[in-house]
Amino acid sequence: MDTTSRANALSGAKLVGRFRYLRQNKPGLKSFTQQNLPMNVTLAQAETIIAAAKKKATEIDTKMDICVVDAGSNLVAFARMDGAWIGSVDIAIKKARTAAWFMMDTQALSPLVQPGESLYQIEHSNGGLITFPGGVVLKNGDEVIGAIGVSGSVVENDHAVAEAGAAAFDISYQGQSTRA
């Protein structure tokens, strides 16, 4: 998908809709939220997430840096697979923090930060954002309670590994995964 079509795929109007959606409690999840689950991802959950991400990375023959942060964007766990790029340490951390800071996957930001688009150069905030794919939110029902960031290969692989980590979290934590 080129830049223009990606930008069209998530216009400002769609972002508003998405944002509202995230703010609404879906009926089936409302009672879930009322059960008072923790607001932040735990270390045990983060370890489960990282193990699943490593497994996926190995399956697709990549070497990844993997980071899990809490809702406040603070580091919970990190792992660099042997031989993974050193430069991806910071990128994995920034992807996770960016997802947590804005409560959305980093790939949702990619079209909005292109030249001429509404959030152009937002990366200069917060000591540096990463706005390409690989950061994925972790949710307790509708609440974002953390994020995973992955870097070390092409962004499609980075995102796939992050999704695999997040899916393991969904299943272990919520008994189901809504991910593809």
Residue among 23 and 28 whose Cβ is closer to a second copy: 23
Neighbours of 153 (CB within 10 A): 21
List the one residue from 25, 29, 32, 81 that touches a second copy (CB under 8 A).
81
Give least dist CB 105 to a second copy, A: 14
Contact 102, 130 (CB under 8 A): no
173 binds a second copy (CB under 8 A): no
Give least dist CB 150 to a second copy, A: 14
29 binds a second copy (CB under 8 A): no
Q: Which stretch binds a second copy (CB under 8 A): 25-33, 35-43, 160-168, 169-177?
A: 35-43
Distances (CA, A) of 167 to 54, 56, 93, 126, 161: 13, 11, 19, 28, 10
- By CB under 8 A, the residues from 113 to 172 that bind a second copy are 113-116, 118-133, 153-157
Sign for the CA dihedral angle at 12, 16, 17, 18 comes to: positive
78 binds a second copy (CB under 8 A): yes
Residue among 42 and 177 whose Cβ is closer to a second copy: 42
Contact 123, 115 (CB under 8 A): no
Q: Which of 59, 120, 54 is closest to 84 using CA atoms?
A: 54
Kindly state the DSSP code that residue 137 receives in the 8-state scheme.
Answer: E
Give least dist CB 165 to a second copy, A: 15
Q: Give the β-pairing of 75-80 and 65-70.
A: antiparallel
15 binds a second copy (CB under 8 A): yes
List the one residue from 25, 32, 33, 85 that touches a second copy (CB under 8 A).
85
- By CB under 8 A, the residues from 95 to 114 that bind a second copy are 98, 100-103, 110, 113-114
Residue among 74 and 179 whose Cβ is closer to a second copy: 74
Helix, coil or strand: residue 71: coil
